[in-house]
């Protein structure tokens, strides 16, 4: 009497092949999820940095007495107290008189 309680080599190869395809599909889905998450994180932080810079500029421009100079990479305004504020692109950052308005890890072109 022959005992046939094990699996054949063909059955094992088929199961290993199916498991390999399943693992490939799962890892591909996980990789796409990570890439999408990174893109969303970068887009969100870029939007926040831009909103902050524009918000600060908007407040100062609305409260300005006059605009002295307006060229593509530089804007000079005169404040109500007579001081001048200059917004410019300096070293790939948006800057005002005192500091950068964009984070160090962002580049403005």
Write the pLDDT tens digit of every residue in 19-62.
999 999 999 999 999 999 999 999 999 999 999 999 999 999 99
pTM reported for the whole predicted model? 0.69
The answer to the question of residue 108 being in a domain is no
User: Side-chain half-sphere of 78: how many Cα atoms within 13 Å?
Assistant: 6
Residues 6+ apart with CB under 8 A from 79: 60, 63, 64, 65, 85
Max CA distance (Å), the chain: 107
Q: Nearest CA to 80 among 98, 97, 99, 66?
A: 66
pLDDT at 64: 93
What are the tokens at 74?
Answer: 């530089």
Helix (H) or strand (E) segment spanning residue 61: helix 9-62
Give the model's confidence band at 1: pLDDT under 50 very low, under 70 low, under 90 confident, else very high: low
Q: Nearest CA to 84 among 70, 95, 68?
A: 68
The answer to the question of residue 105 being in a domain is no
Selection from 31-40, 71-80, 89-98 with the highest mean pLDDT = 31-40
Q: Name the residue range of residue 17's domain.
A: 9-95
């Amino acid at each position: 009497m022959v005992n046939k309680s094990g699996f054949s080599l063909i059955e094992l190869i088929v199961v290993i092949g199916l498991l390999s395809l399943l693992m490939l599909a799962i890892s591909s889905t996980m990789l796409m999820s990570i890439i999408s998450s990174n893109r969303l994180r970068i887009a969100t932080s870029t939007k926040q940095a831009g909103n902050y810079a524009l918000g600060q500029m908007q407040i100062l421009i609305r409260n300005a007495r006059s605009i002295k100079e307006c060229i593509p990479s530089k804007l000079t305004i005169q404040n109500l107290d007579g001081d001048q504020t200059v917004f410019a692109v300096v070293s790939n950052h948006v800057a005002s008189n005192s500091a950068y308005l964009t984070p160090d890890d962002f580049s403005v072109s």
